[in-house]
Structure 1
Amino acid sequence: MSLQPSVRWNKHTDMIEGFEDTGTTRTSRIADHVLVFMIRGLFGKWKQPVAYSYCEAATKTPALVMQIKNVIREIHKTDLKVVACVCDQGSTNVAAINSLIADTRATYLRKKQDLCDRIFEIDGKTIIPIFDPPHLLKGIRNSFMQKDLYFTDENNQQCKGSWQHILAAYFIDAPQEDYVS
């Protein structure tokens, strides 16, 4: 999340705030973003922020990987079970997830064991990375607005999907009043 960069002295902690701070390291760079880690229930309707850090621009991939590992380890200490990690498709997030997957794959290769693709493990516990659906839908929309989609159908026919097809379907459906708004 973007922040307005500023530096201020906190008289209660006797510290200057506003610099990059991961909780384990501080730099002299002024922070303009905050990274928030949140947990939520799969079956109950609850969510809770559990950690945050301040950074300049995006958190670098190695630092993000370390923060993900640390947060998941701390959550596991509470007897909660992390089963998935959800994030958007920001380049640093994708790189961090790919790094965690590669580390897990390397561990399995050293043990000469097979690994289910596209998962990672922290301390032997499996975690499924998921890109959040709103950002996926936005990405699909943006891609369709810029490029056409070419595919082969079940009859081996070459087909094209475009933004114009989506608009046409919308305008066909829009006058219908048999839905609940």
Structure 2
Amino acid sequence: IAGKTLTHGTPRKLKLRSKIRTLQRKLLSVKSNNTHEITEEDVTTFMEKNYPSIENFVKMQMHLTKVAPKRARYTTEFKQLALMIYFLGPKVYKFLRKTLQLPSKSTLLRITRKWEINPGFKDFIFSAIQIRVNTLGTLARDCVLCLDEMSLKTFLFYNISQDSIVGYHHSISGKSYDAANNDLVVMARGINSNWKQPIAYFFLNSICSVDDLIKIIFSVTTKLQNIGLNVLSVVSDQGTNFMKLSKQLNVTPEKPDFFINDKKVFSLFDVPHLLKSTRNNFFAHHFDFSEGRTNKAFLERFYEKDKQQKYRLAPKLTDIHIHPNSFQEMKVKYASQVFSATVAAGLNCYISLGQLPNEAMATATFVKLVDTLFDIPNSWKFGGSKFSNRPFMGSSYQIEVDKKGIQLLNT
């Protein structure tokens, strides 16, 4: 501005110059400190002070960066941590290996092969499962307990590492020197989430006794409840010992449940096994219900006529389906393909064309009803082109089908 001069010694400007000099000294100090090279000791000290839980992991990573991958050696603690990460998520572990020095999958498998998993319940298995359970939501913790027996070929094997002979009877009630010819496997499986985990196995010299079954079910359910899982039901086949178990637990169609630690547990028979049993009874006997009487002969006549056609109504049916041997009877797919909408439609078509008598309509209706009854409890996804194959949601259609099924079973 004309006629005025700028001042430079006013109190305000002197104060600002002093502040600038102070900031310049601080800047020089920071630059000087930054020139100091950070050492491993500095990192270790920082981790000890701020992140003690991952201090050892960081130390190990700094050490492994100096070693070739094939020459890397891992501590037992580090291997256990790697196993935990892999158990929580194999895909995450694979991603982390791209940037971190972690043991390979084959190394982890070699570690697990050293675990001694003998007949009976092992605490370390439940501890490992709990790691995974802690990451699950409330609904994902709902599960069923599956029990199944299988015949074994009698054989004794000497385990050098354990200095023991494998193959003798070893149940929850104790061991004996009787050679095992059966085994019982216990597995937990998620209801709302797709996971399954074998829990234990037992070698048996005959089918498992009812008393042992009760001990196993109550013991494993308690252990699973203690690690946070919610066991809603016990599922088994229709073996004689499991039928006796239901009676001993006072399980009936009207009251299909019992209590373990004050929590209700439902007793269910395996649906695929029920389907096979229904097929076997259908082949051996007649079913009398509101629509009439079933007869396998109508199915046989339909099959003999249909297999001669160039374009078949039931192309999946074969001689194995109609006349299965003892081993083929164990295949669920053969039973499910007999009780199918395709076979029911084929029977109905041949009745309409006069190739089968009207009495065969009861057999066609029975086949279709069993197919629908099997679809509802055998569902695995919400969508799907087949309406009856969707999860049970209490719809009027599903309830009506169940009522017809109950009426059929009561006849």
TM-score in terms of structure 2 length = 0.36
Q: Does 1:145 align with 2:283?
A: yes
- SS of 1:44's partner is coil
Q: Which amino acid in 2 is paired with 1:127?
A: V
Match of 2:198 in 1: 49
- The Cα offsets for residues 84-128 of structure 1, whole Å up to 9 and x where unpaired, read as 1111000111111321236xx9xxxxxxxxxx7121111111111
Residue of structure 1 equivalent to 2:294: 161
Matching residue within 38, 46, 57 for 2:187? 38
How much does 1:8 deviate?
2.2
Per the alignment, residue 173 of structure 1 pairs with 346
Q: Deviations over 1:121-168 (max 9, x none)?
A: 111111111111111111111001011111246xxxxx2122245565
Contact 1:87–1:132 (Cα < 8 Å) also in 2: yes
Matches within 5 A, 1:99-138: 99-101=248-250, 117-138=255-276
Displacement of 1:80 in angstroms is: 0.1
In the TM superposition, 1:88-103 aligns within 5 A as: 88-101=237-250
Q: Is the 8 A contact 1:65 1:99 kept in 2?
A: no
Secondary structure of the equivalent of 1:12?
coil
Helix, strand or coil: the match of 1:79? coil
1:86/1:166 CA distance change after superposition, 3 Å: farther
Q: Cα RMSD over matched residues? A: 2.6
Match of 1:18 among 158, 163, 167: 167
Cα distance in 1 between the residues matched to 2:259 and 2:298: 41
Residue matched to 1:70: 219
Number of residue pairs matched?
160
Q: Distance in 2 between matches of 1:172 and 1:47?
A: 37
Bigger Rg, structure 1 or 2: 2
Q: How has the CA–CA distance of structure 1 residues 16 and 23 changed in structure 2, closer, same or farther, with 3 Å as cutoff?
A: farther
Question: Is the 2:173–2:212 contact (alpha carbons within 8 Å) kept by the matching residues of 1?
Answer: no
- 1:24 to partner: Cα distance: 4.9
Q: Extract unaligned runs of 5+ from structure 2.
A: 1-149, 303-341, 350-384, 387-411
CA distance in structure 2 between the aligned counterparts of 1:125 and 1:75, rounded to whole angstroms: 13
> Is the 8 Å Cα contact of residues 72 and 82 (structure 1) preserved in structure 2?
yes
Structure 1 position 38, deviation (Å) = 0.5
- The answer to whether the 8 A contact 2:172-2:212 is kept is no
Mark the runs of 5 or more structure 1 residues left unpaired by the alignment. Answer: 106-115, 154-158
Larger RCO (alpha carbons 8 Å, 6+ apart): 1
Change in Cα spacing, 1:130 to 1:118, as seen in structure 2 (3 Å) is same
TM-score if structure 1 supplies the norm length?
0.78
